[in-house]
Structure formats: C-alpha cells, structure tokens
Structure 1
Amino acid sequence: MSTAGTGQAVADRGDKGGVRTALAGLTTRGRSFLAAGVAAAVCSYVLGQGDLLRVGLLLAVLPLVCAAVLYRTRYRVAGSRRLSPARVPAGSEARVHLRMDNVSRLPTGLLMLQDRVPYVLGPRPRFVLDRVEAGGRREVSYRVRSDLRGRYPLGPLQLRLTDPFGMCELTRSFSSYDTLTVIPRVEPLAPVRLSGEAKGYGDGRQRSLALAGEDDVIPRGYRYGDDLRRVHWRSTARYGELMVRREEQPQRARCTVLLDTRGIAYRGAGPDSAFEWAVTGAASVLVHMLERGYSVRLLTDTGSTVPGEGGDGFAGVSQESADAAGLMMDTLAVIDHSDGAGLSRAYDVLRGGNEGLLVAFLGDLDEEQAAVLGRMRQRSPGAVAFVLDSRTWVREPSDVPGPSEVRGERLRMLREAGWTALDVPRGATLDELWRQADRERRGVAATGGGEGP
C-alpha cells in the first residue's frame, strides 16, 4: 500500500520583508565576509588607506550580491512523496520515496533536500542534489522505523537553496505532508476449534431465516415468483390460502474482541508493557478470526465498537471486510488508556443479543468487574479471557512472585461463570496461550463441565 503527496515550492522575491529575509539567510561565511568588509572600511577611514577601502567594499558587497541574486532567482520545483507501505507493523521498516522535478526553464544550483519526520521514526533525512537541468528529475529515498504504534506525520518537505560561494542559504517549504500509520504487530495463531466450529462457514455454523418482510411469519404467504416446491400444504389447508416455507441460509459465525483500556488496570509504559501486549493480542485475534471467515468487531471498555453502529456492528464480507479490518487496525494504532473505572458500558453493548465468540484482553480486575464479566458470559456461546497482572510486567523476571490469592480468586470467578480464563505472565506468547485455551476448553468439555470457547 502506498500513498503520494505532491507540493510545489517557488524560490523568488517577495513583496514584504525581502531584504530581511535575504540577510537572515546569510551563512557563517557570508556574515564573516560582511563583518570583515565593514571592519576594513572603518580601518581605511581611520588610517587613510584607499586600497584598504576597496578591499573592504569587495568583502562586504560579495555576500550581499550573492544573497540578492539567490533571493531573486526563480526556481519552480515540484516535489512528491510516496510511502511504501503507508501502514506498517510496529518494529518494521517503511521506505519513503522523494521525487523532485524542476518545472522551470532554468537549471537549478546546488539544492539541499530535507524532510521533517518525528524523532521516533529516526534522524531527519537530508540529501544534497547537484544541478538539476530544466525539466529534470531527481529521486531519493530513506527508511523509517518505529517500535511504537501510532500515526506519524511526514513533512512538510523543505528545500534549501545556496549560492556557489556558500554565502547565503534560503529555505522553502512545501505545503503537503503524508501520514505513516504504525499498527500493532500481528502474531500468527494456530487454527484451533472454537465453540465446536472449524471455521466461519463450517458444520457448526449458525443459520438464519431468509426474511422477505417485517410481517413475515413461519410459514408465510405465497408471493409471485416463489418456487411451488416450497408450498407448505398443511399450512395452506389451515389458513385457506397458499403458504410457502421460508428458506434457511448460512450466517457467518461472529466474534467480539473485548479490549480493556482502563488506565487504572495497567502499570508501566513502552513497547514491552502489559497494555501493549493486550493491544497486540487483540489485533492478532481480529486478523486471525477474519482469516477464518468470522464476522468480527472490536469492543472497548468505553462501549465503543469498530465497525460502528451501522448494520449489525460486525465486519461484513469481501471488500467490506477488508475495509473493516483496516479500520480496526487503524483504531488500535492510536488507542490509548481510558479514564473509565469499570466494564459496565461494554456489558450494555453485549446485552443486545447473540454476540458469538467473546475474546477478552483484560488488565487488573476487582470483584465487581469480575462479576460484570460473569454476566457477559451469559450472552456468548464461548468466551476466552487473557488476564494480565500488570505488576508482574514492571519488574524483572527474576523478581516476579507467584499469582496472589486475590488474583487467583478473580480467575476462579471467571472460570465458574463459564470463561476459559488464562493468566498472562511476563514474556508469554499469545500463540502458546491460544493453544492452552483450546486444551482447557476440551478438558472441560470432556469432564462434562460444559463447552468452553
């Protein structure tokens, strides 16, 4: 995926502040020449040396002439930027391609090209371009990389003009900029069975009736074009009119990924923090379930869902599914801690009906929130919870104690409510926990404790 932005910079004389702008562009060499020339002129007056005055005038006039010529020279240069790709996982590199076109009839002098990038993406790139002929083109590129997810602006592009003697430098800026989106890393997951389903369209799929109107009942009245093989004769005899059966059609299995973003539930910061692990886990599950054919959505503790409230709130199929996946990843790229204290808003969203499989990434829990999660489980045929103890993520691994009694009690409450609840220690990989959740689900089902996720 790539994007391109174009802009145009013109180096010419302005109507206001022209002299100040030109003098402000004098380099250290130009200022030194000007100061030496003034000093020589003063000395020639004091000493009465006419030759010294001529030398002083030459030294003083040279940088001024260079500044005036450079400021009045008209360069029309068009620049464009292309990102490849424009959406990149954290820790991966993206390449930025810059292209400069001289659209004027005059060749340019020495140009210095500089692009403005946030410090987290690396050092500011600078390029020196030799003379660009009229109608010529120059292309350069550089790499950017960030371990922190987010949206980072690139630009505006700056062009620095200089004279052949190095006496003056003027900077012109382009107006356009682009945005690099750094999304969470996605960890591949094993294709385990969830809720007895092998995939989104499988033997364990849900089925829904093909509705033809809000007033439909089972069966419904005959309508022009209906297949006569669907006539339900018993209902026809009962109602005294021709009745037909409604067909069934497959419905994609659903999955809701709940991400706990409460600031009070996590400690620490940075790419190795518990919260970043939870964000990465949510992104991995979303992508994995989409690849398996599920209709998915992202839900946070604030009650916000992605995709939004349109339709049934779940990602659709084909191109709509791809767009929804991109929207969810863009949301996770900039998601941050919330100010909420509980999960009640998320529970209100889940009370609407059958939400399918529920996968939750949770921070520290108290008894009240564990009870809310227990009620959430009643709305889902299967539920998996990855519970992170943020205290273990802010210490060295050798200093990490075992699970506390309070934490063990919270996990027990979730399991009694029907969750497959797993403790997430520091350094654990999501794929290992994903497989462990499947083993525990099968173990519970084999002992007759009910079907897990």
Structure 2
Amino acid sequence: MRERWPLTLRGTGAVVLAIIALVVAQQAAIPELLYFGVLMLALVLVAAVSAVVGRASGEIVRTVSPEAPEVGGLAEVHLSARLSTPLPTLPGRWSDTLPAGLEGVAEGAFPAAASTLRRSGAPVRLRYEVRGSVRGTATVGPLRVSTTDPFGLIRRRFRVGQATEVTVAPTIVDLAPLPSSPGEAGGTRQSSALQLGQGADNLIARPYAPGDSMRRIHWRATAHRDTLMVRQEEQESSPAATVVFDRSLSRWSPAAAESPGRDRAFETAVSACVSVVARLVHEGYTVDVIDSDGGVLGDPVDGGEDAEARALAASFATLRARTDTPARRVVPASAAAMLGPVVVVTGRLEHDDLLALRAAAPRSALAVLLTVADDDGARDLRSVTGWHATALAPGGDIARAWDDATKPEDARVGG
C-alpha cells in the first residue's frame, strides 16, 4: 500500500492539515484557517504537477565481475547511473531487480540530484554483491529509483536504463592432479616421438656448440647459413584428452530437459564435466568435449588455457538433456581407439549399458567413468565395466569422486 500511495509522510500530513483547517474554518468562521487550508492543498497540487511534468530519465552502465559468476560464487555488480531531471530531487532509495538465478541485496540510499537543465549531472556510482544460485542466463535490472519532489510531498518513481543479461556458469570444482606416471595418466600427456634418421621433418638445426658430435653436423643448414650447424631432434608431442558428457534424457529426470537447475543430478554432472575439463587443461592437455552420440559440445580447449576452460564452462550455462538417439550410447564408438585420457560423465545406467561400457573400454590407461545417480552408489562399477569408475550422488563431493576414480587400484585397496 505504501508503494502505491503517491504522497510521502510529509505530503500526507499536509493534506490532512488542509482538510482539518477547511473544516474548522467553515464551522468556526475563521478566514485565516480557510486561507491556510487552501494554501496547503495548492502546495500539494503544485508538487504533484512538478512530479508529472518534471519526469526524470537516465542512462546506466552495469558491469558484473566476473562476467559469468559460478553457482555458489560471488560477483560484484557496479552501476554508473547518470540522471536527467529538470527539477532537483531529494535523497531517495534505489533497487535493482534480481532474477531467480542470483541472490543478494540490491538496494540502498540514492543521493540527491540537481537539475540538469543547464548542465549534465555527475554519474552516481553504486555497488552490490550477488551470489549465483541457479545455472543459466537471466537479466538484472532495470534500476528503480524512488525519490521526492523538491518539497518532499510527492513520491517520484522512475526506471533508469535497461536490463543486463548475466550468465551463471556451473561450478568448477578444484580437482586433484592426475597420476604422475605417464602410463597412469593415459600415455599422451608426456609422450613424445624422437624420430632419428627419419628425414628433416622432425629435425631442427642449431649452431654448433663445443662437445657436439661431428656426426650430427647438418650439412645443408651449414651451407645455407655459412656457419657450422648440427642436427637437433624436435620433440613431437600431441597431448590430447576427451571428455564425454552423456545428455541422453533416459539417464536423467524429465526436468533436466526443461530448464537449467531443475534436476539436481544433472546439475552435479554438468559441474563435474567442466571441473574435469579445467583439470585436464591445467595439466596441459588439449581437451575435446563431446556428447555420447559424438556431437561436439564446444570448441577444443588448448592445454594451459585456463581462461578458455572457464569460457567453456560459461557456455554450458544453458546446457540441457536431450532426447535419446536410437543407438542410446554411453560413449561414442570412437572412444575405443582413443589413447589419451577419456572421461565419461553420465547418469543412471542399465545392465545393457554396463555391458556396452565393458566392450567399449578404450585403449587409454586413464579411462574414467563418473556416474551421477541415487541408485548406483552400491555398484562396483570398476570391476563391472573395466573403467576407472565411481558413483557420485546428486549434490555429492565431486573432488572426492574424482580422486577415488583416478587413484591406482593398489592405492584404493590399501586405502
């Protein structure tokens, strides 16, 4: 009711006093009270006209840092509002409209504003913090300002600027490093091919240094550069890893296909997927992220590019489950030929899925299977599927599940 009532406490009091003065002046025949009542009503009327005629407008620049906050992460929202008002305004209140995916207190005191008829007003800078609560995209704003006329009798409410779209990314959990042994890690992270005597494609020439063998002299480069050059083998490496995210609707609840944040198990799986990508990229792998049907879910992320890994996570803000394909695969058919690490994130598994996983066990020494479901916790997935596998409950500890899946078998037994 208070928000709809156009008068402030002072304005309400002025109207009440005017009515009382008019009633008493009529009953007691006091002309002075009559003049006073009419003056008060005229003052309120002038204030109302000024509020209508002198409507304020403005522009706003809203920035969110970081641009794509994670679920559970904090972000700062900075606003720079520049008002345009023909009449000065008294101090008031401001509030920014927050979507369902963000939580925070987006309101505060708004300073007085001078008239901008002759000169532009200084920008008003505001700030507040929000926390990501639901993965997805939503709009923040518009900014709402509530102030009063110069007499403080009439409330003036107006919007400033437009809304800003904000992306809430899935949470990236810090996972443990991969096993230190190249064999345990899947072979290609530290693999190299030193191809001696295989031609010049894999060789580079460098200047001769004392102690170099004369048999390594690169005669062609020596003749070309007119200085003694020797052969040096160029180490070839092709670190590659693949993360498979199974979005088949049969693995999740129907809510997973409706909108982000509806299925807790699916949200845990999305967070696990981007966390694994971030870990592999940090380890130096170039990571491909694909669906279980072989469809690409994002551009490959180069090794060491942590910022690109976070950008990929932001692109997963609107990711949803899809209808099943006729093949209903858990992993693509090409997974069996992959030498680098292969990580599969999926949901509920049926008996036929377990048999297919065992038949499709890839050649990689690091083939990890993470299942996110309530009913898989008691299964010994590692022995059934032949993968480095573990079950993860919806909303469970992703870091612990990763550690359990990647640790060597003897460490699991010993633990």
TM-score, normalised on structure 1? Answer: 0.65
| Residue 274 of structure 1: aligned partner | 265
Aligned twin of 1:167: 154
Q: 1:230 to 1:292 in 2, by over 3 A?
A: farther
Is the contact between residue 358 and residue 382 of structure 1 (CA under 8 Å) also seen in structure 2? yes
In the other structure, the counterpart of 1:27 is 7
Q: How does 1:323-342 map to 2 (within 5 A)?
A: 324-340=308-324
Identity percentage of aligned residues: 23
1:374 aligns with 2:358: yes
Q: Which amino acid aligns with 2:272?
A: G
Q: Residues 429 and 192 (structure 1 numbering): CA distance in 2 closer, same or farther, change over 3 Å? A: farther
- The corresponding residue for 2:283 is 292
Question: Secondary structure of the equivalent of 2:72?
Answer: coil
Cα pair 1:190 1:431 within 8 Å, conserved = no
Contact 1:63–1:168 (Cα < 8 Å) also in 2: no
Shift of 1:124: 5.2
Shift of 1:293: 0.5
Aligned with 1:205: secondary structure?
coil
Q: Partner letter of residue 135 of structure 2?
A: R
Which of the numbers 288, 298, 305 marks the counterpart of 2:296? 305
Aligned pairs, number: 373
Distance 1:425 1:28, change over 3 A: closer
Tell me the amino acid that sits aligned with residue 91 of structure 1: G
What does residue 212 of structure 2 align with? Answer: none
- Partner AA of 1:421 in structure 2: A
Kept after mapping to 2: 8 A contact 1:342/1:369: no
Deviation at 1:441? 4.8
Q: Is the 8 A contact 1:25 1:67 kept in 2?
A: no
Q: Map 1:213-232 onto structure 2 (within 5 A).
A: none
For residues 70-96 of structure 1, give each alpha carbon's deviation from its aligned partner in whole angstroms, at most 9, with x where no partner exists. 232265644322222222332222121
Classify the secondary structure of the residue corresponding to 2:69. strand
Measured against aligned partners, the alpha-carbon deviations of 1:199-224 in whole angstroms (never above 9, x if no partner) come to 9986x425599xxxxxxxx9799xxx
CA deviation vs aligned residue, 1:381-401 (integer Å, no higher than 9, x gap): 541112334247xxxxxxxxx
- Rounded to whole Å, the distance in 2 between the matches of 1:435 and 1:298 is 21
Q: 1:428 to 1:99 in 2, by over 3 A?
A: closer
* 1:363 CA displacement: 1.6
Q: Which amino acid aligns with 1:315?
A: V
Q: How does 1:252-271 map to 2 (within 5 A)?
A: 252-266=238-252
Structure 2 distance, partners of 1:199, 1:353, is 12
Flag the 1:48–1:374 CA change in 2: closer, same or farther, 3 A: farther
1:73 matches 2:54: yes
Which residue number corresponds to residue 109 of structure 1?
90
Change in 2 beyond 3 A, CA 1:123/1:92: closer
The structure-2 alpha-carbon separation of the partners of 1:338 and 1:82, relative to structure 1 and needing over 3 Å to count, comes to same
**Distance verdict in 2 for CA 1:388–1:84, change over 3 Å:** closer
Q: 1:439 to 1:378 in 2, by over 3 A?
A: closer
1:421 aligns with 2:402: no
Amino acid in the other structure paired with 2:322: S
Residue aligned with 1:27, SS: coil
How many angstroms apart in 2 are the aligned matches of 1:259 and 1:289? 15
Query: What 5-or-longer segments of structure 1 have no aligned partner?
Result: 1-23, 210-217, 222-227, 232-246, 309-313, 393-401, 445-453
Deviates further, 30-39 or 327-336: 30-39
- Please, which of 108, 116, 128 is the counterpart of residue 142 of structure 1? 128
| Whole-angstrom distance in 1 between the partners of 2:112 and 2:395 | 54
Asked whether the 8 Å contact 2:148–2:156 carries over to 1, the reply is yes
Residues 294-323 of structure 1, C-alpha deviation per residue, up to 9 Å, x if partnerless? 011222335432324xxxxx32356xx456
Which 5+ residue runs of structure 2 have no aligned equivalent?
115-119, 202-216, 221-232
Change (3 A) 1:434 1:33: same
1:290 Cα shift? 0.5
Q: Which residue of 2 aligns with 1:437?
A: 405
Q: Which amino acid in structure 1 is aligned with residue 134 of structure 2?
A: L
How does the TM-score come out when normalised to structure 2?
0.70
* 1:315 equivalenced with 2:306 (yes/no): no
Between 1:91-100 and 1:256-265, the stretch displaced more is 256-265
Deviations, residues 105-132 of structure 1 (Å, cap 9, x unaligned):
9754334322111245235522222323
Aligned AA (2:68): R
Q: 1:307 to 1:353 in 2, by over 3 A?
A: farther
The farther-off stretch of 269-278 and 71-80 is 269-278
Equivalent in the alignment of 1:100: 81
- Cα distance 1:437–1:125, how it changes in 2: closer, same or farther (>3 A)? closer
1:146, CA displacement in angstroms?
2.7
Q: 1:386 aligns with which of 358, 370, 377?
A: 370
**Which of 186, 199, 219 is 2:173 aligned to?**
186
Report 1:148-163 matches (<5 A): 148-163=134-149
- Work out the CA distance in 1 between the residues paired with 2:138 and 2:285: 31
Structure 2 CA distance for aligned equivalents of residues 376 and 352 of structure 1: 5
Pair 385,348 (structure 1): closer, same or farther in 2 beyond 3 Å: closer
SS in 1 for 2:369: strand
- Alignment CA distance shift 1:41-1:349 (3 Å): farther
RMSD: 4.7
Q: Is the 8 A contact 2:175 2:402 kept in 1?
A: no
Alpha-carbon distance in 2 for matches of 1:68, 1:352: 77
Q: Secondary structure at the match of 2:175?
A: coil
Does structure 2 retain, via aligned residues, the 8 Å contact 1:200–1:293?
A: no
SS of the residue corresponding to residue 174 of structure 2 reads coil
**Structure 2 residue aligned with 1:63:** 44
Retained in 2: the 8 A contact 1:264–1:341? Answer: no
Q: Is residue 266–residue 390 contact of structure 1 (8 Å, CA) maintained in 2?
A: no
